[in-house]
Structure 1
Amino acid sequence: MPIIDVEDLTLNPQEVETAGEVIFERAYNESDLSEYHDIETGVTMKQQIVFAELMGMLGKKATGCTPNAADGFAMTEKFWEPVIEDFRLEQCQLDMPALLKLFRKAQRMNPDFYDAVGYEEFGVIIAAVETALLENMHRKIWFNDTVAATVANSGVFTNGTDLGYFNSFDGLFKQIFTEVPETSAQYVAITANDGDSYVNQKLAADAAFSIFEKMVEAADERLAGAEDAFILATRSLADNYRSTLRNKNLGAGFLEVVENGRPKLMFDGIEIKVRYDWDRNIKKYQDNGTTRHLPHRAIMTTKSNIPIATLSTEDLTKLDVFYEKYKKVNVIDGAYSIDAKHLEPYMTVAAY
């Protein structure tokens, strides 16, 4: 299949003539990765992350010449294990209808007709790939699972999903659900997730307010006191919370404010970042036909506690674009290394 499928386009004298007139479908999340994560660069292979436990109490009343013994502290570890992913897209100009005005008219066949690199029309393809690449990164960082399985195989992924796009490394949901299980003091239950149908999975009125309140109460004092703490939440929770804001007179710390022209949702002074892409991915890739897998989710943490690692941040956005003379195709190559880590469970509250 060619990169661009134009079967549904009508060719006529008034068709689109420039790439600037093409309207792209909007992405679900165009935010830079650094809005949510610290980014570690230069990570090429298994690399150690060391944690030092907080020391206990020190100092007792002296009773002789020998000082009182004090307890030490433990050190633990995790490892960065970045994986290398890549893709290639090839476009042959012969795949495009000769009448489509969006694509330039070459003055000669060889090589001008075939070589589109550097021309505006090929920029349409490059722009589409760049947008898709960023959205794919957001999806992988959160939803990847090395043992991903479809519903038919006792998993949670929608039947028919190509699991090769999900199983290269463990994403943050997999790690957080493991390290902040339902038995954890930092877990907040969302009972609507247990509904036996789409309708019964809907949130009750004011449910999100109660969930966010419990999350703040469950937070370790070090997380609660962190200036950079935020709550990441599905749109379902954010919309439910906004409904509460419209119907209740709450204080200034519970308002949706506009900062630099962008709405900013707050709960008790803590910013709630709405992850519309989470809702989209859950609906598309974690649906068993009757219910969705944990359709309502929220994570309270900090950027530094959910970092990602790569060899170079440029790899996550930069494409290798060239014309292959032998095959007479225009090529877009992408390659990058990527991993995500949930570092310290006490710095996370998970509601699911």
Structure 2
Amino acid sequence: MASTGLNFANLTPDDGAIKDLKRLIFLAVTDPQSLGKIFNFLPRQKHGEKVGFVGEFGMVGKASQGCNPSFGTSILATSEQEWDIREWEVAEKICYKDLEGTIAQVAMRTKTNIGDITGTEYTDHILMPRLELAIRKMLMRYAWFGDKAADTVTTEGNLLASVDPAYFTLIDGFWKRLFMLVTSAPERRTICEANAAATFAEQKAAMRGNYAAVDFLDALISDASTVLRQANGQLIYITQALKDALDADLKRNNKGSELQWTALFDGITQTNYNGVEMIAIPFLDEIIKGSETVTGGKAWNKPYRALYTLKDNLLVGMEGESELADIQVWFNKDEQMNKILAKDKIGTLIADNNLVQVGF
């Protein structure tokens, strides 16, 4: 079995075209390297620790009582939650034999040291940057789609049969927490009828109907609590599929007028919708359309999703100091294997359920 590394099968080493690995051009992928713009990342968090939140005073202020007033007992609203933070790891190995006969051989050592690829151009300039990107995408996957009960369609779950549930079951992410929230507080959900369609094509057709996307987002805002609608930093997260439907809706029904979207970082875009900042995250669609289906695999699992909240209301706790863990790379002489190891812990919390309106 080949060990972990770059797949050079489609790159020929003997035509003289590539002598320096730095000349390789990476294919574009979603790069969630600015995750702090999406979530409230909290470093140095511990499993089982309590997190306290402070809200607002209740009503205050009555007619003056003159001398010797009667003092009220209004207090600040508080709440408490507990971190469920679990450890993840990335453990990979690379054998130099898998790189022989490929263009990576231009970066390999020779003779007795041929097995050690640590510190080479291949490791430093090709492998490590892509591994860091993969870890960031892993954090996004767990933060949004983590589900301790995730399973494949073959056992009553929503994951494709080809997807390993272990990539999702570490923690409960935001969508799982939101789905659980609306079972006890249905008023916190705005229904998107298009998601219930039985096939991929019917879902798309339903959302591309007259004003369907506009009506859905307008309802999301109007359904939200007055506390949320008065809060500073309001933000609506949407899937790319919903963005596309919204753009088509506005262009078709408003004689060509469109929302003005600004690129944030690599695919994630931002605009202002009815006075509320809104960002579209294609990574959500990447997971939904790459891993999740319903109706026996004939439709996507809620492709049109929207979350109206505050960025600071979405907490991602890490045990480490930064969103990207330290990556250790070493060469094992006895095994003649290059090994890579990264570990950290992650958990999610929604600070205040009153500051949430979710649409799906």
- TM-score, L = length of structure 1: 0.88
- Of residues 251, 265, 274, the one that matches 1:246 is 251
Identity among equivalent pairs (%): 20
Q: Deviation per CA, 1:292-340: give whole Å up to 9, x if none.
A: 2111101011111001011224362431122222222222211011111
Match of 1:223 in 2: 228
Mapping of residues 155-166 of structure 1, within 5 Å: 155-166=157-168
Q: CA deviation at 1:233?
A: 0.4
1:328 aligns with 2:331: no
Match of 1:85 in 2: 88
Q: 1:237 to 1:42 in 2, by over 3 A?
A: same
- Of residues 235, 260, 270, the one that matches 1:256 is 260
Q: CA deviation at 1:236?
A: 0.9
Counterpart of 2:282, as a letter, is Y
Q: CA deviation at 1:8?
A: 4.0
Poorly superposed stretches of 4+, deviation over 6 Å: 59-62, 71-74, 259-262
Q: Deviation per CA, 1:215-248: give whole Å up to 9, x if none.
A: 1112222322333111110111101111233235
Separation in 2, partners of 1:208, 1:170: 28
Q: Deviation per CA, 1:267-299: give whole Å up to 9, x if none.
A: 012222111011110111112421121111010
Q: 1:3 to 1:264 in 2, by over 3 A?
A: same
CA contact (8 A) 2:109 2:117 kept: no
Mapping of residues 231-310 of structure 1, within 5 Å: 231-249=236-254, 255-258=259-262, 264-288=270-294, 289-310=297-318
Q: CA deviation at 1:85?
A: 0.9
Q: Deviation per CA, 1:133-182: give whole Å up to 9, x if none.
A: 11111111011111112212112121232111111110000101111348
Name the stretch that deviates more: 151-160 or 340-349. 151-160
Any idea what SS the aligned residue of 1:50 has?
strand
Match of 1:167 in 2: 169
Q: 1:273 to 1:260 in 2, by over 3 A?
A: closer
User: For structure 2, which runs of at least 5 residues remain unmatched after alignment?
Assistant: none
Aligned residues: 348
Match of 1:338 in 2: 346
CA contact (8 A) 2:208 2:248 kept: no
Match of 1:198 in 2: 200
Mapping of residues 16-27 of structure 1, within 5 Å: 16-27=18-29
Q: CA deviation at 1:66?
A: 9.8
Q: CA deviation at 1:51?
A: 3.8
1:36 aligns with 2:38: yes
Aligned CA-pair RMSD: 2.9
Q: 1:106 to 1:80 in 2, by over 3 A?
A: closer
Q: 1:330 to 1:215 in 2, by over 3 A?
A: same
Counterpart of 1:277, as a letter, is F
CA contact (8 A) 1:181 1:187 kept: no
- TM-score, L = length of structure 2: 0.86
Q: CA deviation at 1:30?
A: 2.5
Q: 1:222 to 1:306 in 2, by over 3 A?
A: same
Counterpart of 2:16, as a letter, is Q
CA contact (8 A) 2:271 2:278 kept: yes
1:211 aligns with 2:216: yes
CA contact (8 A) 2:41 2:323 kept: no
Match of 1:109 in 2: 111
Match of 2:148 in 1: 146
Separation in 2, partners of 1:204, 1:80: 40
Q: 1:329 to 1:185 in 2, by over 3 A?
A: same
User: For structure 1, which runs of at least 5 residues remain unmatched after alignment?
Assistant: none
Separation in 2, partners of 1:249, 1:292: 29
